[in-house]
């Protein structure tokens, strides 16, 4: 006759302990896989945002209005485009791509502004062009955040004749008669610090519009495909 013996209490406790350890290891592995997948998705989304921002910058700087307006600023030509170029901000008249639901000529400004949490963010502001030679109501203009958080934005402008770079435009000490006929730089270099993921230095060729600016003169500068 055979007798069936069950597990002892010690054996059951050992089995439960081993099962608990196995479940703990499996849950940790699953949690790590989930976190890795989330980080990958965040990096992919950040890369997509970067590509979209760079494409937008190429588009809006690729069609800059060279239409000239009367200027009262000393030391500048009597007629010049609306192109306010400083070391950390740039304002101009350009064409917004139609794929953003806007299209047409707009006043545009690129600058770092405080975000809702206090961190800086790279913002492109835009407002429909009214025909006026200047625009100052930037707080009321629409905004598109291109990168955040951002600590600083450094801009430089290329003088096509010499290939040199200046933090302002027109370059100090450069005779006006040596500037391009459009009175615009050939390219804009952007250095953005603090963005996540980090932005490499970016150089965007600047092209002056022609068909929409019959008053503009001369050819376009900057070279390269957009």
User: Which one has a higher pLDDT value, 41 or 221?
Assistant: 41
**pLDDT the model gives residue 221:** 31
pLDDT at residue 165 above 50? yes
Question: Two tokens at 2?
Answer: 């055979």
User: Which one has a higher pLDDT value, 49 or 59?
Assistant: 59
Distance of CA 126 to the CA centre of its chain: 14
- 163 within a domain of the structure (yes/no): yes
Mean pLDDT of 155-159: 96
- 10 within a domain of the structure (yes/no): no
Percent of the chain at pLDDT exceeding 90: 45
- 154 within a domain of the structure (yes/no): yes
- 25 within a domain of the structure (yes/no): no
Per-residue pLDDT band for 73 (boundaries 50, 70, 90) equals low
Domain encompassing residue 92: 44-205
- 164 within a domain of the structure (yes/no): yes
H or E segment to which residue 22 belongs: helix 9-61
Per-residue pLDDT band for 70 (boundaries 50, 70, 90) equals confident
CA gap 124, 97 in Å, rounded:
13
- 216 within a domain of the structure (yes/no): no
Whether the CB-CB separation of 209 and 66 falls below 8 Å is answered with yes
Q: Which of 20-34, 36-50, 75-89 has the lowest mean pLDDT?
A: 36-50
- pLDDT tens digits for range 166-206: 999 999 888 878 888 899 999 999 999 988 778 999 999 99
pLDDT at residue 79 above 90? no
- Residues 104-109: contacts with CB under 8 Å, at least 24 apart: 104/128, 104/129, 105/65, 105/129, 105/212, 107/82, 107/135, 107/141, 108/60, 109/138, 109/141
Question: How many C-alpha atoms does 125 have within 13 Å on its Cβ side?
Answer: 16
Per-residue pLDDT band for 98 (boundaries 50, 70, 90) equals confident
- Find the largest Cα–Cα distance for the chain: 117
- 217 within a domain of the structure (yes/no): no
Per-residue pLDDT band for 2 (boundaries 50, 70, 90) equals low
pLDDT at residue 155 above 70? yes
* Domain count for the chain: 1
- 184 within a domain of the structure (yes/no): yes
- pLDDT tens digits for range 113-151: 999 888 999 999 999 999 998 899 999 999 999 998 999
């Amino acid at each position: 006759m055979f007798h069936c013996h069950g597990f002892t209490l010690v054996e059951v406790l050992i089995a439960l302990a081993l099962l608990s350890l196995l479940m703990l290891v499996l849950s940790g592995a699953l949690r790590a896989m989930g976190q890795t997948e989330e980080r990958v998705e965040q990096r992919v989304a950040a890369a997509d945002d970067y590509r979209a921002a760079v494409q937008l910058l190429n588009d809006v700087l690729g069609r800059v209005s060279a239409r000239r307006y009367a200027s009262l600023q000393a030391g500048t030509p009597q007629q010049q485009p609306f192109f306010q170029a400083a070391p950390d901000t740039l304002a101009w008249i350009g064409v917004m791509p139609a794929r953003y639901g806007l299209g047409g000529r707009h006043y545009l400004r690129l600058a770092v502004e405080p975000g809702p949490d206090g961190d800086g963010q790279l913002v492109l502001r835009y407002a429909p062009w009214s025909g006026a030679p200047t625009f100052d109501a930037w707080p009321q203009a629409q905004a598109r955040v291109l990168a955040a958080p951002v600590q600083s934005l450094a801009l430089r402008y290329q003088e096509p004749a010499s290939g040199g770079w200046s933090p302002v435009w027109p370059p100090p000490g450069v005779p006006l008669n040596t500037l391009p006929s459009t009175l615009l730089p050939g390219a804009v270099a952007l250095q953005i610090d603090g963005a996540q993921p980090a932005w490499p230095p970016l150089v965007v060729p600047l092209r002056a519009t022609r068909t929409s600016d019959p008053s503009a003169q001369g050819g376009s500068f900057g070279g390269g495909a957009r």
